[in-house]
Structure 1
Amino acid sequence: MASQTSLDILNLDDRTLQLRLAQGDVDVRVRALASDETIVVDTPSGAVLPEQPGSYRISAGRSGDAATVIVHFGRAQVLTNTSGFPLHANQQVRLGGADGAPSEIAAAPPGDEFDRWSAARDKREDHIAATRYVSPDTTGYEDLDAHGTWRTMPEYGAVWVPTAVAAGWAPYRHGHWVWVEPWGWTWVDDAPWGFARFHYGRWVWLNGYWAWAPGPRIARPVYAPALVAFIGGSRWSVSVASGGAPAVGWFPLGWREPYVPWYRASPTHVRNVNITHVKNINVTNIYNDVTQIQYVNRNHPHAVTVVPRKSFVSAEPVARTALRVAPAQLAQAQVVNTTTPAQPARESLARQQPGPRPPAATIRREVVGMRAPPVRAAQGFAATSPDAAQQEARRPVATEQPRVRVIGQRRSDTGAPGRQLGSGTPQGSGPQAATPDNVPRPPQADVKTQPRSVPQALQRQVERRKPSTEEAAPQARADMQRQRRAPGNDAATRATPPMPAQRVPQREVAPHRETRGPGPEARGRGAEQEPAHDGERKGRGRDKRD
């Protein structure tokens, strides 16, 4: 995302990413696109739907009266109020006015400074070593190479060891807890690499140091708010200077130990969130035998962290408020990971960090899209009784709804209809913008990456028609023939095409660029689930410039 860009996430679930570009420039790098997935960028002049892995530069003017679409490689459908047409590799088109009247399709221009910066960053991410050990759908995998090293252990397989941590460091000790719906208590780590390591996998102690063990590499890992077991209970307290004080403690789950959600969750979620570390998963046994589990870190002197309950609920930094607890007192604490360890208060809610806001006219600007986004709601905290600070009393608060002018789905010049935008209903594996976005979905076997010419869904749509000589362009027929001959069309593809000549990286620094990333609580994946609650989404397995 370039400077002076206004970009919103309108819809984010397991199969759909809908973005609103009111002004500015974005480079959307799509590394994988399954046949049932949709990415769409809505602009004031038209909607852009990438249909293949590729790189797409989309620009919207400050006045909202024009947009430009460039396909560096890949292919996209461009939909306006009056037309729909495909845009192929190394092509560009300009859309004018609210109706999006297109100019003639022309050759893409040489890349500018923003293109070169984006291409250089894409190239680095294309060669990240971590993808040999974890799925690119693991939110935060991009930070692994820069902050740690990989080792192979006979018992655990590939493990990751952080290169620089403080003395006495332990997992889930340097950060704080916040309350995020629908998961409840969610860990927010202080480390710049602290997302993937605390929401996926397990931590193991290796003769003097901690290592993160992600487990077997699966296509779509499932997000968890924190992979810990809590200890304490309503009657447990620890000795402090002023006497006994209610406390909350926890420790990281060890290798092969089951994760038991403290929030309401379906059996499918429990099964899928444990599938990388627990063999022969029996959900009933996981819940019934929780007190019988022999946790390897339960009595580990370097693993257990305890804080006053007041500090826990108030989202205070854990390292600053952690208590020294005698082993005898720790032994008296019960494992309570089937229920929430403490009720939230107003200060428990995840804080929204204020940032620069676009001009009011840009915020209110209407964009063109194929579907209206879901109604936004903000998390509030309503006092319903005198002791509301100890209750989960919350109410949704309506916020300003983005203006989207919905247009009908149109056939392109090649006779192929555009992709249908997803329903907007989370299906199951992660948190949504500003909150954790992962919802469980049944993991799928990893697939080998191979490029394809025509997306699977688009091919099926074309084949169901009866293409005629008049309506099927030569390029479309050639694409269809190549697709029929290509092997492995049943899997989602992951293409890393050669970089176009005009996108040769020349600089490493973006010119006046805003901070990238949706925040610490965002990304993940899920699918055919029976989620017990909505919004379990935590990010997506494709790269996007935000």
Structure 2
Amino acid sequence: MLASHKKMRRCLLATSCLALLLPATAQAQNEAIPSRVGQLTSLSGNVSYNGAGSGGQWIAATPNYPVTSGDTLFTQAGAEAAIVLNASRLTLGANTELQINALDDTHFAARESQGELFLSLTDMPPGQSVTIDTPRGTVTMTQAGAYDIVAGDAATPTIVSVLAGAASIGALGIPAGQEGVLSGTDQTTAQLEPLQRDALEDYVLAATMPPPPPYAPPVVQQMSGVDELSAYGSWSMSPGYGAVWYPYVPTGWAPFRDGHWAYVAPWGWTWVDFEPWGFAPFHYGRWIDDGGRWGWVPAGAYGPGYAYGPGDQPVYAPAVVGFFGLAAGAAFTASLLASQSVGWVPLAPGEPYYPAYHANPAYLRRINQGDVRHFDPAAHRPPAPGEFVNRRVATYMPASAMAHGSSAASFGRPVTPGQFSQAHQFDNFAPALRPDITHRPAAAPHPSGFATPHGVPPIVPHTAVQPFHPGTLTQPREALPPRPPGANFPRPMPPVYQPHEAPPPRLPAGNFHPPMPAYHPPAPQFHPPMPAYHPPEPQFRPSMPAYHPPAPQPHAAPPHPQPQNGHDRNHP
């Protein structure tokens, strides 16, 4: 019994070890942890980032980095970037600076100081809103739709285009199919004009991605980054877990091994995956080992007939793993930590997630409700390090390498079964594992004086408002000054994704393997039997006698002048 109590105490402390590794300032900020974050994706060219993970410096942006309040992005000449927020997508054209002022469960507010921003807002529930500050006013959008905002400057107008939905800027309402054009410095004038689509709008509208399958629970549609999965894997319906996604990965691949750790406030240590699809499967849901084939279960606790409510929204986690420490001694100390290792293991369905930051019972219930049935923070306990379902792919790396943001593929090692006996808790020492990451510096934006916050002048609506005519959607805007840098988007569409290799061969039949022929049909389906196209020769080459009369015929007598009487030609 005493050994059992010691074992329970060890596993409870081991899974919460990184809570002791966070700087005290971060734990003081954990009173209101955001449930929603954006995913930084589709980076092309030089993109700069300044925010929670950069230490206040402009650094090179990293794909799959979480985006939250206080972050700023800047796309340099010829570059682009996108922020995926739930089912919506915000695309930054070239020479665009976007600072996120607020990102919470119901509101997204940002300032676009320069450049062009396209917003594809999908499935906005009542009460949610998006506001974008421009040098000439604040654009407000409260319904789903497609919007394009050109910030403008002192010499060029601010243009708010509404392809679908409805928006407003100041006192000017902009319906679908029209755009608001605001110009002036000391006094701003505004008018409505027919919608004119530019290169960035055409680019974004053409770059569509298939959504998750219809049998996926509605909560899955709201997970940031989930729309990218269909191009990089296959979905299947499992009777035990519901919707399961299988990535196209090489044999021997395992989750949480191809990426690195970054320190992002207020969550602390956050997994940043290197795969282009590597966001949603590492911050939501759970992973299953299906006979050697890995599948992602986004919401295994939501069974058929589940009654969804307003509270059924996905909650972002910095990494859905269980942490533990490895050392040869009896316990970690601050000095020992620098030379020892931190381990982690992907959580499986039914295993609760316990964050390393402070979280009250209500938050624990929300972040686990989609993956653990009937979760009760007071009753559930984390498993011991050696009892995790996915322990065969547990990974560890030196704490110093983790603090430097080193690649897990280079410094990580698999945990052997014998090493689990060395898993220890972190206790009785001051916070020691602080981030020590050397970032690659990047260029900072150079906004004009007009783009700095200076109090937006009142909008004077133009007296001659042009009506919208569908036939004028593509007419050139000849009366307006040229659009600012970044308004045009010359970069061609990226090629359609082709998996770098075929999916691994299907393992023995199980509950979760989608039939591979659905994706790789057998050759006979495309190459019918050859006889159908090459009939036998007799059908086209009749017998030779039909074209060569018998040999005696050339020596026969001339034909009788009256052969129609039925007499033989050889007998007169």
- TM-score tier (shorter): 0.5 to 0.7
Tell me how far apart the structure 2 counterparts of residues 117 and 262 of structure 1 sit (CA, whole Å): 41
Unaligned ranges ≥5, structure 2:
1-91, 303-307, 333-337, 463-469, 475-487, 495-572
| Partners of 2:282 and 2:320 within 8 A in 1 | yes
Which of 181, 185, 192 is the aligned partner of 1:94?
Answer: 181
| Partners of 1:203 and 1:210 within 8 A in 2 | yes
| Partners of 1:66 and 1:100 within 8 A in 2 | no
Counterpart residue identity of residue 76, structure 1: A
Which of 373, 378, 386 is the aligned partner of 1:284?
Answer: 378
Tell me which residue corresponds to 1:128: 211
Counterpart residue identity of residue 88, structure 1: P
State the 1:87 CA deviation. 1.4
State the 1:245 CA deviation. 5.6
Confirm whether residue 57 of structure 1 aligns to residue 148 of structure 2: yes
Confirm whether residue 250 of structure 1 aligns to residue 325 of structure 2: no
TM-score (norm 1): 0.59
After superposing the two structures, state which structure 1 stretch, 89-98 or 137-146, moved more.
89-98
Tell me how far apart the structure 1 counterparts of residues 399 and 323 of structure 2 sit (CA, whole Å): 12
State the 1:24 CA deviation. 2.4
Confirm whether residue 212 of structure 1 aligns to residue 301 of structure 2: no
Tell me which residue corresponds to 2:358: 264
Tell me which residue corresponds to 2:230: 145
Q: Secondary structure at the match of 1:285?
A: coil
Tell me which residue corresponds to 1:30: 121
Check 1:229–1:315 CA distance in 2 against 1; reply closer, same or farther (3 A cut).
Answer: same
Tell me how far apart the structure 1 counterparts of residues 357 and 101 of structure 2 sit (CA, whole Å): 26
Tell me how far apart the structure 2 counterparts of residues 297 and 37 of structure 1 sit (CA, whole Å): 38
Tell me how far apart the structure 2 counterparts of residues 226 and 404 of structure 1 sit (CA, whole Å): 40
Confirm whether residue 12 of structure 1 aligns to residue 103 of structure 2: yes
Tell me which residue corresponds to 2:321: 228
The structure, 1 or 2, with the larger RCO (C-alpha pairs under 8 Å, 6+ apart) is: 1
Which of 242, 245, 253 is the aligned partner of 1:160?
Answer: 245
Tell me how far apart the structure 2 counterparts of residues 147 and 324 of structure 1 sit (CA, whole Å): 26
Which of 421, 436, 447 is the aligned partner of 1:347?
Answer: 436
Check 1:144–1:14 CA distance in 2 against 1; reply closer, same or farther (3 A cut).
Answer: same
Check 1:212–1:291 CA distance in 2 against 1; reply closer, same or farther (3 A cut).
Answer: closer
Tell me which residue corresponds to 2:482: none
Counterpart residue identity of residue 172, structure 1: F
State the 1:254 CA deviation. 1.1
Unaligned ranges ≥5, structure 1:
239-243, 367-402, 414-498, 504-508, 516-546
CA RMSD of aligned residues (A): 3.8
Tell me how far apart the structure 2 counterparts of residues 96 and 70 of structure 1 sit (CA, whole Å): 15
Tell me how far apart the structure 2 counterparts of residues 327 and 209 of structure 1 sit (CA, whole Å): 20
Q: Secondary structure at the match of 1:282?
A: coil
Tell me how far apart the structure 1 counterparts of residues 317 and 153 of structure 2 sit (CA, whole Å): 40
Which of 247, 259, 263 is the aligned partner of 1:179?
Answer: 263
| Partners of 2:324 and 2:385 within 8 A in 1 | no
| Partners of 1:271 and 1:281 within 8 A in 2 | yes
Check 1:282–1:95 CA distance in 2 against 1; reply closer, same or farther (3 A cut).
Answer: same
| Partners of 2:181 and 2:193 within 8 A in 1 | no
State the 1:116 CA deviation. 1.6
Structure 1 residues 150-206: Cα deviation after superposition (integer angstroms, max 9, x where no partner): 1122221211111123x4321111112222222222111111111111110111110
| Partners of 2:286 and 2:298 within 8 A in 1 | yes
State the 1:45 CA deviation. 1.5
State the 1:292 CA deviation. 6.6
Counterpart residue identity of residue 421, structure 2: A
Check 1:152–1:97 CA distance in 2 against 1; reply closer, same or farther (3 A cut).
Answer: same
Structure 1 residues 333-376: Cα deviation after superposition (integer angstroms, max 9, x where no partner): 2477x99998323415xx655444332426x723xxxxxxxxxx
Check 1:501–1:197 CA distance in 2 against 1; reply closer, same or farther (3 A cut).
Answer: farther
State the 1:23 CA deviation. 2.5
After superposing the two structures, state which structure 1 stretch, 338-347 or 311-320, moved more.
338-347
Tell me which residue corresponds to 2:192: 105
Tell me how far apart the structure 1 counterparts of residues 286 and 152 of structure 2 sit (CA, whole Å): 47
| Partners of 2:109 and 2:132 within 8 A in 1 | yes
Structure 1 residues 33-87: Cα deviation after superposition (integer angstroms, max 9, x where no partner): 33322211211112211232222222232436631222222111220xxxx1311
Counterpart residue identity of residue 184, structure 1: G
Q: Secondary structure at the match of 2:220?
A: coil
State the 1:306 CA deviation. 1.8
Tell me which residue corresponds to 1:419: none
Confirm whether residue 297 of structure 1 aligns to residue 389 of structure 2: yes
| Partners of 1:313 and 1:344 within 8 A in 2 | yes
Q: How many residues align?
A: 367
Tell me which residue corresponds to 2:490: 511
Structure 1 residues 216-250: Cα deviation after superposition (integer angstroms, max 9, x where no partner): 56752001111111222664699xxxxx9622212
Tell me how far apart the structure 2 counterparts of residues 145 and 501 of structure 1 sit (CA, whole Å): 36
Check 1:112–1:335 CA distance in 2 against 1; reply closer, same or farther (3 A cut).
Answer: same
Check 1:73–1:247 CA distance in 2 against 1; reply closer, same or farther (3 A cut).
Answer: closer
User: Which structure 2 residues correspond to residues 458-497 of structure 1 after superposition, within 5 A?
Assistant: none
Q: Secondary structure at the match of 1:268?
A: helix
| Partners of 1:46 and 1:100 within 8 A in 2 | no
| Partners of 1:7 and 1:21 within 8 A in 2 | yes
Confirm whether residue 327 of structure 1 aligns to residue 417 of structure 2: yes
Which of 450, 455, 460 is the aligned partner of 1:405?
Answer: 455
Tell me how far apart the structure 2 counterparts of residues 196 and 340 of structure 1 sit (CA, whole Å): 34
Confirm whether residue 114 of structure 1 aligns to residue 207 of structure 2: no
Which of 440, 446, 451 is the aligned partner of 1:359?
Answer: 446
Check 1:319–1:405 CA distance in 2 against 1; reply closer, same or farther (3 A cut).
Answer: same
Tell me how far apart the structure 2 counterparts of residues 198 and 130 of structure 1 sit (CA, whole Å): 19
Q: Secondary structure at the match of 1:347?
A: coil
| Partners of 1:18 and 1:41 within 8 A in 2 | yes
Confirm whether residue 309 of structure 1 aligns to residue 399 of structure 2: yes
After superposing the two structures, state which structure 1 stretch, 216-225 or 150-159, moved more.
216-225
Tell me which residue corresponds to 1:191: 275
State the 1:215 CA deviation. 1.6
Tell me how far apart the structure 2 counterparts of residues 274 and 283 of structure 1 sit (CA, whole Å): 9
Tell me how far apart the structure 2 counterparts of residues 212 and 341 of structure 1 sit (CA, whole Å): 36
Confirm whether residue 41 of structure 1 aligns to residue 132 of structure 2: yes
Check 1:156–1:177 CA distance in 2 against 1; reply closer, same or farther (3 A cut).
Answer: same
| Partners of 2:394 and 2:414 within 8 A in 1 | no
